[in-house]
Homo-oligomer: A and B are copies of this chain.
Amino acid sequence: MKIAVDAMGGDNAPQSVVEGVEKARDAFEDMEFVLFGKVDEIKPLVKDQTRISFEQADEVIVMNDEPVKAIRRKKQSSLVLAAKAVKEGQADALFSCGNTGALLAAGLLLIGRIKGVERPGLLSTLPVVSSAQGGFNLLDSGANADNKPEYLHQFAVMGKFYAQTVRGIENPRIGLLNNGTEPHKGSKLTQAAYQLISEDPSLNFVGNVESRDLTNGVCDVAVADGFTGNAVLKAIEGTASAVMHLVKDSVKDANLFGKLGALMFKPNLMKIKDRVNPSRYGGAVLLGVKAPVVKAHGSSDAQTVYYTMKQIRTILNENLLSKFKTAFQTQDEEQN
């Protein structure tokens, strides 16, 4: 398998992207990488060019570029050229740590939807505090600001296949993010989506779930409209980070006795920090486009890039996308 890598996207690019790619190359013999970017800059960073090739890209899409405009205008950017390589079958998946909106736009506009998928959805994996399984999936976590009930039903189906295939959960529990757990609760959108999802016998639907229970593992896959999903994702990340900062600051403010205590307790606190770190759970995946399009955090280090490459490898090896094609093409034919 060959991965098209936007080597210029992200806060630590291209250094940490290159390091992560080399780590993945060393670990997985079936993986090849094409690095898109300023070859002059990238090539000297690569220690061993085995299964790594380079494609020159003169432009870079930066964080504050307007996504759709950037995709249309910066045709020589590392992201656009990498996406085109996937579209043309020269690579099997697209990876970037850069501008999320631009990556979504590249996935939607350049790589394109799978037939029968109404709207691709962005799937994120977040930590579960109390459980051995370690995480839950949230989708749509930001691809669609305006949503219809049918999109949410498809997110449930795609989330189920992802959790089965990539996370190895046999019969994933699907929850619908709502403002109460009772079946009648919610907006017109969630009430209609509840009907559609509950009537689908292929889904192990556990009903409505509330955002406060997500990090306690109330479901394996939480389905949301992309606006609310995005807000919840950012609220969870922001709050976890804010509380960890409070802990850090409280060490500074402690007296000598307290500081000594904190030092002795520190290894345990570091474990928590690692546990709530979302990048540990891999990248966000745009589900419903014709190839895996995967976004790692802008601040990703080499280890996170490596984890995300491992995740992409599983998606490809387990043929996740063929499951979508089968599910939605049948549905499409039934409707037509």
Enumerate chain A interface residues (CB-CB to B < 8 A): 66, 101, 129-130, 142, 145-146, 177, 179-180, 182, 184-188, 190, 210-216, 224, 226-228, 230-232, 234-247, 250-251, 253-254, 257-258, 260-269, 271-272, 275-276
Q: Chain B: which residue is nearest A141 at the CB level?
A: B179
Classify the interface of chain A: helix, strand, loop or mixed: helix
Q: Is the CB of A235 within 8 A of B212?
A: yes
Contacts of A216 in B (CB 8 A): 238, 242
Most chain B C-beta atoms within 10 Å of own C-beta, residue among A238, A244, A272:
A238
The 21 listed contacts between A and B (C-beta, < 8 Å) are: A66-B182, A101-B180, A129-B246, A130-B245, A145-B190, A179-B231, A211-B235, A211-B238, A212-B241, A232-B232, A232-B235, A235-B235, A243-B276, A246-B272, A253-B268, A258-B267, A260-B261, A260-B264, A261-B261, A261-B265, A264-B265
Contacts of A268 in B (CB 8 A): 250-251, 253-254, 258, 262
Contacts of A271 in B (CB 8 A): 250
Contacts of A179 in B (CB 8 A): 142, 145, 226-227, 230-231
Q: Chain B: which residue is nearest A243 at the CB level?
A: B243
A318 CB → nearest B CB, Å:
30
Known: A243-B272, A264-B264. 16 other contacts (CB 8 A): A66-B184, A101-B180, A129-B245, A145-B185, A146-B188, A179-B226, A179-B231, A216-B242, A224-B231, A231-B231, A231-B232, A251-B265, A258-B268, A261-B264, A261-B266, A264-B265
* Among candidates B130, B186, B239, B272, residue contacting A145 with C-beta atoms closer than 8 Å: B186
How many copies of this chain sit in the oligomeric assembly? 2
Q: Chain B: which residue is nearest A265 at the CB level?
A: B261
* Among candidates B251, B263, B269, residue contacting A247 with C-beta atoms closer than 8 Å: B269
Q: Chain B: which residue is nearest A263 at the CB level?
A: B261
Contacts of A266 in B (CB 8 A): 261
Most chain B C-beta atoms within 10 Å of own C-beta, residue among A211, A241, A257:
A211
- Top 9 nearest A-B pairs (CB, nearest first) are A261-B264, A212-B238, A261-B265, A212-B234, A235-B235, A239-B239, A211-B235, A145-B187, A250-B268
* Among candidates B146, B237, B250, B261, residue contacting A187 with C-beta atoms closer than 8 Å: B146
Contacts of A214 in B (CB 8 A): 235, 238
Contacts of A263 in B (CB 8 A): 261
Q: Chain B: which residue is nearest A215 at the CB level?
A: B242
Q: Is the CB of B247 within 8 A of A247?
A: yes
Contacts of A242 in B (CB 8 A): 129-130, 215-216
Q: Is the CB of B234 within 8 A of A236?
A: no
Give the complex CA separation of A271 and B258 in angstroms: 13
* Among candidates B101, B213, B237, B243, residue contacting A244 with C-beta atoms closer than 8 Å: B243
Q: Is the CB of B245 within 8 A of A243?
A: no
A102 CB → nearest B CB, Å:
12
Contacts of A253 in B (CB 8 A): 268
Contacts of A227 in B (CB 8 A): 179, 186-187, 190, 228
Contacts of A240 in B (CB 8 A): 239, 243
Q: Is the CB of B275 within 8 A of A246?
A: yes
Q: Chain B: which residue is nearest A256 at the CB level?
A: B264
Residues A210 and B228 in contact in the complex (CB < 8 Å), given A145-B187, A268-B254: no
